[in-house]
Structure 1
Amino acid sequence: MRLIDFHRRCRIYCRNAHVRKPLDTASRWRDHAAMELDHDTCYRALASRDVRFDGRFFIAVKTTGIYCRPICPARTAKSENVLFFASAAAAQEAGFRPCLRCRPEAAPDSGAWRGVSNTGVSHAVARALALIEMGALDEAGMDALADRLGLGERQLRRLFVQHVGASPVTVAQTRRVLLAKQLIHETRMPFTEIAFAAGFGSVRRFNEVFHGLYQRPPSALRRSAQPEQSAGAQGEVTLLLRYRPPYDWPAMLAFFKARAINGLELVSDSSYSRSICLDGVQGTVLVQQGAGHALQATIRFPRLASLPAIIARLRRMFDLAADPQAINQQLSADPLMAALTAARSGLRLPGAWDGFELAMRAVLGQQITVAGAIRLAAKLVAQHGEALREQCADRPGLSHVFPQPAHVALADLALLGMPKSRAATLSAIAAALVADPQLLDGRASLGEAVQKMCELPGIGDWTAHYIALRHLREPDAFPAADVALMNAIALHEGGTRPNAKELAIRAEAWRPWRAYAAQHLWASLAVNG
């Protein structure tokens, strides 16, 4: 079965279903809202064991109580004995436990459907999923998450059941369990450290959840699996971050290398490393190509509880949740994009480590070259960033972390050698972030997010869309006033260079993936000199 048929025919819907738990003394029937896909289509995809379907859905076998990836090597169950779920969380909420053989935690993320206008998934759900991935329900409860989204708790639960097939709490618990199982398989970390690194509040809770899901203690899972990574230095964890191929890793490295800030980042021909700081705690990350369809991340950070947030930031930064086949398929309806996506099918949308850092970079880049903006950013880091307290012998170029908003808000930035108006904009953004740390969080829609950012002094439509594109991960953000994009259209389609209004009209054909169209246009300019 062709992948295009899968996208066309799999229409997600919700219905009430009865699922029987594995037989034991306490077995019983129970009702649940199960996210299902078209059964016959998914069953044919399961029978093909095609890796392209990995992560797009999960298979639950009613006779065993186990859910698997579509590439699981186990014998295919009879059609009448399987259910299909759009997410691992939905399968777990229905009472199924993860397969030990195909390891659902190793599946690539199926994040491309989240928050895109043509999928029917609401922007609020997409933002909630991103916040949960960053640990929002580890730090606070459902009421705090609902408040951040501007929704009521009941409404948020209803949206999750409708669009994800599982409650927010189940999504968060599934994330913890799958991360913990990955740490068991891929590291030599002690189980106590794994429990806290995965977001469990206690070792007791960690053991209870694993007993309930796998019917065995975590130690039994490690005995059956040799850790894939060797032990590193204390406070160092090396993990594989899976993605859906193709992935243009050289293009991603080239993007970051052209924008690397001295003292903060190091980019070679094969790896990216940088210093990081979360809530005053410092560390470093190193990312390089891993085995199979994955990047390998080596994280040095003394606070284990921050590991889920670090992983989430890296996944967003390197755009690991994207589905390039789905994106390219829709973009290729336009002749120009058909040529560009065919030439660079694995091109991703580079993200940002931190919203404040990206906002500073965007403002510094207003009306000057990339090289000029990076020189100013290096001065900002050197003069106002905190020195890295523990120097890395194997990463000698990392000396500082990026300045915090509170420090930038009080600094005289005009001394860095920039126009006073631009320095004032940087100071104003920093002060606004001090007053409202969630200022650069996503809003109810792309339009609302752009409008909110444009209320800040010195922030116009181009800067707001650029921040939305790289930090908020809005797939339809498009900085129509970007001169490079105008030049790219003139290069590829001939004629005079369009203005911002004309470019915005031209870009309508690329919805809802205008951000990826912009990245293809920028990349094409680099190729064409």
Structure 2
Amino acid sequence: MQLDPAICSSARLARDHRFDGRFFTAVKTTGIFCRPICPARPPLERNVTYYATAAEAVDAGFRPCLRCRPDAAPGSPAWGLVSATVQRALQLMRSEREAQSIERLAERLGVSSRYLRRLFTEHLGVSPLAVWQAERALFAFTLLRDTNLPIAAIAYESGFNSLRRFNGVFRQIYRRTPSDVRREPRHGEREVPGGATAVESRRTARLYLSYRPPFHWAQLLAFFRARALAGVERVEGDVYLRSFAIDGMRGVLRVRDDAAGNRLVVDVSGEGGAALYLLNQRLRRLFDLDADTGAITAVLGSDPLLAQQIARSPGVRLPGAWDPFEYALRAILGQQISVAAATTIAGRVVARYGQTFVDADGAEQRLFPTAAQLAAADFEGLGVTRARARTLREFVAATLDGRVNFAEPDLDSWCTAVTQLPGIGDWTAHYIAMRGLSMPDAFPASDLGILQALGEHGQKAKPKQALGEHGQKAKPKQALARAESWRPWRAYGALLLWQSLKPENG
């Protein structure tokens, strides 16, 4: 990926948090690479090289800075703008704890392994294996420095099934062994936020998830509060909580914002499995922590209908979903009924079919049922019509037999596959893609709220007028035409339109 040296130089000299994670500065004289917000004395320009990703810097032979901790940097939003195939490959690589061969990855993507290697080299400058190793070693570093987990457990949490392989990869990247890192003093590491902190036992861990400001936590909480699923998730004050089961581990998450540190603080209480890396990835998508808010604002802000809302609520984030299947069922339940009614019915699904467990505090928690657990469900007596119950059953069956694939779709193929099922239309397909799969260009054009916000007065593009006033509505074709200039961020445009209808949440 091409970087502008002048912009990178200005950003690192100013220690601009808006560029944290967008690029890394490698210092030729020391062999170390840093985040642009590194508190150390900045090196001379002639001694630096800029890389778009940590994986590129590692592949070039540089080792991570122990002061600014590249392991704690926000994810690179540029990776969302590369080849669609590379983007899907990265998603697959990050959605599984263990590594998979390049041949298997290419097969799942429907391309040859040679072509996939070429795409990674062209768009990221490194191989898929180099990306996987760099990301997992960086994550392992956070656990080594900031937790008391045994080294063998850290290797497993990071995706390595062999301690020997973990030690080899880690030493190659950090020029020291995991045991060396454990013994080293930790002075000054808290000057820049990030990483995971203080695990006092296997039952409790704290993760820090960095983001680039601006970040509107209160707005995200308002969105999740209105849709909180009884028994599974809730919002208490400024804290988001939910139960989870992932990769053999189940427990409870508590998430709060640390605005001063530009990070979310996540307390994980759970037992079994090795899921910290997967938890980290899911939470980043749930709260859209790696959104390229600058690029989104540049595109959407050119439309006067959206400029008002962006000014009122900068740093828009697209609320994601903890689990795509869970969200898909909720979206199907929500067809043609209110948010409150859909949430109530989804709660009945959990109460009837979901499993329960007792958390570390002795409280009973519920889990949203998986597709396998719903294989024999009839969905009768939950407050849905017979047609809707049939749609739910068909969707579960399609998930189990592979007709519905959450792991590797693009927007068009997803919508085509899902709308072939009975009772699922374009609105549902795009809404699931938008929030369940975090696809930034999804756009449910027939949504009532979008049509209201894009009413006749909005179509005139008068920036001082309230969107959708006087109750007039646009047509779906008009909405699609208007949103064409918002690509590839139409999902964010839809969210801004919804927010404009409730300015008190902006």
Q: How does the TM-score come out when normalised to structure 1?
A: 0.87
Partners of 2:113 and 2:271 in 1: CA distance:
34
Specify the alignment match of 1:83 in structure 2. 49
Partners of 2:161 and 2:304 in 1: CA distance:
52
Q: How many residues align?
A: 485
Q: Shift of residue 184 of structure 1?
A: 2.1
Residue of structure 2 aligned with 1:224, choices 169, 175, 185: 185
Partners of 1:440 and 1:133 in 2: CA distance:
14
Matched, 1:452 2:417: yes
Matched, 1:345 2:314: yes
Matched, 1:104 2:70: yes
Q: How does 1:477-516 map to 2 (within 5 A)?
A: 477-490=442-455, 492=467, 494=469, 496-516=472-492
Q: Shift of residue 493 of structure 1?
A: 5.2
Asked whether the equivalents of residues 465 and 479 of structure 1 are also in contact (C-alpha less than 8 Å), the reply is: yes
Once the two structures are superposed, residues 180-237 of structure 1 have per-residue CA deviations (whole angstroms, 9 ceiling, x without a partner) of 1111233222222211111122222222233333222323323322797333443322
Specify the alignment match of 1:32 in structure 2. none
Q: How does 1:56-455 map to 2 (within 5 A)?
A: 56-111=22-77, 113-116=78-81, 121-135=82-96, 138-222=98-182, 223-225=184-186, 229-278=197-246, 281-290=249-258, 292-388=261-357, 390-393=358-361, 396=363, 399-436=365-402, 439-443=405-409, 445-455=410-420
Specify the alignment match of 2:459 in structure 1. none
Asked whether the equivalents of residues 253 and 269 of structure 1 are also in contact (C-alpha less than 8 Å), the reply is: no
Specify the alignment match of 2:9 in structure 1. 43
Q: How does the TM-score come out when normalised to structure 2?
A: 0.91
Q: Shift of residue 281 of structure 1?
A: 4.4
Once the two structures are superposed, residues 243-280 of structure 1 have per-residue CA deviations (whole angstroms, 9 ceiling, x without a partner) of 11111111111111111111111211211111112356
What amino acid is the match of 1:503?
Answer: A
What amino acid is the match of 1:86?
Answer: A
Q: Shift of residue 401 of structure 1?
A: 0.7
Q: Shift of residue 374 of structure 1?
A: 0.8
Bigger drift between 433-442 and 497-506 goes to 433-442
Residue of structure 1 aligned with 2:427, choices 462, 468, 485: 462
Give the direction of change, closer, same or farther, for the CA distance of 1:528–1:499 in structure 2 (3 Å limit): farther
Partners of 1:520 and 1:341 in 2: CA distance:
7
Give the direction of change, closer, same or farther, for the CA distance of 1:124–1:513 in structure 2 (3 Å limit): same
Q: Shift of residue 63 of structure 1?
A: 2.3
Partners of 2:397 and 2:341 in 1: CA distance:
24
Asked whether the equivalents of residues 134 and 308 of structure 1 are also in contact (C-alpha less than 8 Å), the reply is: no
Q: Shift of residue 328 of structure 1?
A: 1.3
Asked whether the equivalents of residues 359 and 467 of structure 1 are also in contact (C-alpha less than 8 Å), the reply is: yes
Q: Report the RMSD for the aligned CA atoms in angstroms.
A: 2.1
Asked whether the equivalents of residues 211 and 217 of structure 1 are also in contact (C-alpha less than 8 Å), the reply is: yes
Gaps of 5+ in 1: 1-11, 14-36
* SS of residue in 2 equivalent to 1:287: strand
Q: Shift of residue 386 of structure 1?
A: 1.1
What amino acid is the match of 1:176?
Answer: R
Q: Shift of residue 438 of structure 1?
A: 6.3
* SS of residue in 2 equivalent to 1:360: helix
Gaps of 5+ in 2: 190-195, 456-465
Partners of 1:456 and 1:279 in 2: CA distance:
29
Once the two structures are superposed, residues 447-473 of structure 1 have per-residue CA deviations (whole angstroms, 9 ceiling, x without a partner) of 222112111221110000001101221
Once the two structures are superposed, residues 334-387 of structure 1 have per-residue CA deviations (whole angstroms, 9 ceiling, x without a partner) of 112111101000331100011110110000000111111111101100001111
Q: Percent of counterpart pairs with the same letter?
A: 46
